[in-house]
Structure 1
Amino acid sequence: MNSDGMFHIDDSGRLLAMHVTPYEAEDVLQGLLATHPDLLAGGQMTPGDPRRWLLIRREAGVPDRDGGGGRWSLDHLFVDQDGIPTLVEVKRASDSRIRREVIGQMLDYAANGVLYWPVHNLQALFEQTQHDLGRDPHEMVAQLCGDDTVTVEAFFAKVGDNLRAGKIRMVFVADAVPDDLRRIVEFLNEQMNPAEVLAVEVKQYVAEDHGWRTLAPVVYGRTAAASAKSSVQRPRPSELREKADEDVRELWTLLELWGAQEGRQLTNSTSGVIVSGQNNLRIAQLYPKDRALCFNLDPLRSRGRAELAEACLATLRTLTAKKLTPAYPFFPAHDAVAKWDDIAKLLEQLSTT
């Protein structure tokens, strides 16, 4: 019985040989990744903290100037739980471009995406993609981060920070990764910082005449030197507070004093401080990294309190020069400290709903 090292045992105990079989077309592998992003093998990339993924857009346009349209089209743009944009290009081993041309192509995408991708556009693409899949974008972000206080806006603020810092991940996916591509990926991954470069081989094994297939991803590029730079640890609330700027620390203290005086619940999380009102409903979150107090106005509208939500938004807009979005406005920490009496009144209104 010949095989490629993969076997299937059926219900009757028969051993069936499975053979490596090329994908019918590149689009088939692309579709599988869009539907099943776990094929990127995030557990192999960072075993201590496996990567999880959400799709921002398949065939994502990449501009080459400020305000420009999509000059290029990236096969997939994902994001992981730490807000790290993950650029994915898919090629079959039979495509001669997999050896060198795809490297230059990916570097073009990365260099221009870091400079010219407006994060609000990426957020809009993500929300549209999730709606098209019948999913709630806020629920998907909360599930990805393992923290149901994280909003889409807060999450994409982090995505924007990572983009501006060049903290991205470039991933080449193929049914077979040639040795020369593997060597290039390993070299780039060791040299580039904070960007990361990896290759994922997703072999397809098929049991002839039975219709069974198995997909087996393997990650290349994680040399010892490259792995040392990719470890990620979530900060403790005390660390967030210590590293925050003066306005954030002062606002944190004001929130604690307000909560103690008003008998309102405050809870520390890995991303900041949660402010809750009656029935433990979350009304706001302080995000130290974003230097902002986020007000949860959209849930008010969904509970039939649209008039209160609009009144709060109108008041907030009079207290800052920053443009505030209507659903989850991010109010700057320095303005919150300066206008604390007004902010405290708003929190009290929201906490009694």
Structure 2
Amino acid sequence: MAILVRTKGQKWLPAKRLEFKDESDLQRVLHESPDLIMTHEEELPAVFIREAALRGSGFTDLVGVDASGNVLIIETKLAKNREIRREVIGQVLGYAAFLWGMSYEEFDELFKSRAGKSIADLFLEKSESISIEEIIASITGNLEQGRFKLLIAVDDINPELEKIIAYISNFRSGLLLEALEVKIYQQGETEIFVPQRHGQAIGAGGGGSPTSLTIDDVIAGAPDDHSRRLLSVLIEQWSKLGHTVQPRTAGPTFQADVRGQLQPIFWAFRNRVQALMSTLPRRGVAADVVAKYRSALAALPGFDSKSMMSDARPAIFFSGISEAEIRNFVIESAKVVEEWRRAAKACILFSLRTHKVHFLAIQRRRRASFGD
């Protein structure tokens, strides 16, 4: 198919197709311009790293995440490479299998080792309004359940690869596999990127992205009766205090209203609850309040004291605690909310007093000037 380009009012001119020198050239183009890798949610920013080392599985060409917490695994192949046929499917599935069950901390280390920055830092560079807590929770859930978006980027797709991808995409297995055919043309100083997708991703629910779980989904998905019971108690006790439990893709977030804004306090997953120690100070909780929270949790039976005192997001697994401990966890978490609200109220009162003093000073100066 010919690509024609023109400047308005001028005649149409044919654009010349540019060839990729090798697969690293295609990889570089996609890495430098991640917006070219459309994720069906084109407005969402995404971050990628190149050639992440996966022990026993080799090096992935590109691994990325978008602002919904979707994990993307991309393998690049040129038409002249014989592996563009069946082998590339095995490669990308092998990378997915290696990432399945990986902890968020291990996954984040891949980004730190290749980009020199954490996933959170890379996203905050793009926008400070992004909810890092929700991204991390979604990534955690996707890694745990093996929900990935697999993309094979090629310069020319062949019929065999196209048919394999169409076949896999036809099954509602939750596997999201597509091919991205990438062609670049040039006319003068203008370059044109022409992408074409093959194998529309079909998830378990018929869409490209996993939907939020309901509370019942979360409880039903717990691995055993004990975990289901503790999840139910956790949700019930937090709700009784007048706080909010909101289902998300990976699990529910437990929030509290502070100055009219819902703030995340902790998350829950199928088999554990996770405190947001690194998030609380960033959102305005005093350091001494967080320190007391850490110490209180570290003293609870079944809680890993070292993790509670040092980890950014310490996890408490239901298998190691009782119902009494989960109730105490809720109590200690609620204390953080009360301290946060008290400090926020004091800040408002101080601000009002400051404004009042300033206003009275202005009034006195005005009266003095009129008196003169």
Same fold by TM-score, threshold 0.5 exceeded? yes
More off after superposition, 14-23 vs 124-133: 124-133
Give the percent of matched residue pairs that are identical in Structure 1 and Structure 2.
Answer: 18
Match of 1:25 in 2: 22
Count of residue pairs brought into register by the alignment: 324
Residue 275 of structure 2, aligned match among 284, 287, 294: 294
Question: Deviation per CA, 1:37-76, whole angstroms, max 9, x where unpaired?
Answer: 3323323xxxxx6695634531011223xxxxxx511101
Cα 1:336–1:53 change in 2 (3 A) is same
Question: Deviation per CA, 1:292-335, whole angstroms, max 9, x where unpaired?
Answer: 25335444268593333223212222224243453344456753
Q: Give the match's secondary structure for 1:23.
A: coil
Task: Answer with 1 or 2: which has the greater Rg.
Answer: 2
Asked whether 1:272 is paired with 2:250, we answer no
The one-letter amino acid of 1:318's match is A
More relative contact order in 1 or in 2 (CA 8 Å, sep 6+)?
1
Q: 1:173 Cα deviation (Å)?
A: 0.6
Q: Do the aligned partners of 2:72 and 2:150 also contact (CA within 8 Å) in 1?
A: yes
> Where does 1:77-156 land on structure 2 (aligned, <5 Å)?
77-80=63-66, 83-114=69-100, 117-126=102-111, 132=117, 136-137=121-122, 139=124, 148=131, 150-151=133-134, 153-156=136-139
Match of 1:218 in 2: 196
**CA distance in 2: counterparts of 1:236 and 1:80, whole angstroms:** 19
**CA distance in 1: counterparts of 2:110 and 2:256, whole angstroms:** 30
Gaps of 5+ in 1: 44-48, 65-70, 260-264
Question: Deviation per CA, 1:94-145, whole angstroms, max 9, x where unpaired?
Answer: 3333234333433433344436x454211222356666599724647998xx
Match of 2:54 in 1: 62
Q: Do the aligned partners of 1:26 and 1:91 also contact (CA within 8 Å) in 2?
A: yes
Question: Deviation per CA, 1:147-199, whole angstroms, max 9, x where unpaired?
Answer: 72734542332132222xxx333321111111222122223334583333321
Q: 1:90 Cα deviation (Å)?
A: 0.6
Match of 1:254 in 2: 237
Cα 1:104–1:94 change in 2 (3 A) is same
Match of 1:351 in 2: 341
Match of 2:212 in 1: 235
Match of 1:68 in 2: none
Match of 1:38 in 2: 35
Q: 1:241 Cα deviation (Å)?
A: 7.2
**CA distance in 1: counterparts of 2:217 and 2:126, whole angstroms:** 21
Query: TM-score when scaled to structure 1?
Result: 0.74
The one-letter amino acid of 2:11's match is R
The one-letter amino acid of 1:62's match is L
Gaps of 5+ in 2: 222-227, 344-372
**CA distance in 1: counterparts of 2:53 and 2:30, whole angstroms:** 18
Q: Give the match's secondary structure for 1:136.
A: helix
Cα 1:12–1:287 change in 2 (3 A) is farther
Q: 1:212 Cα deviation (Å)?
A: 0.9
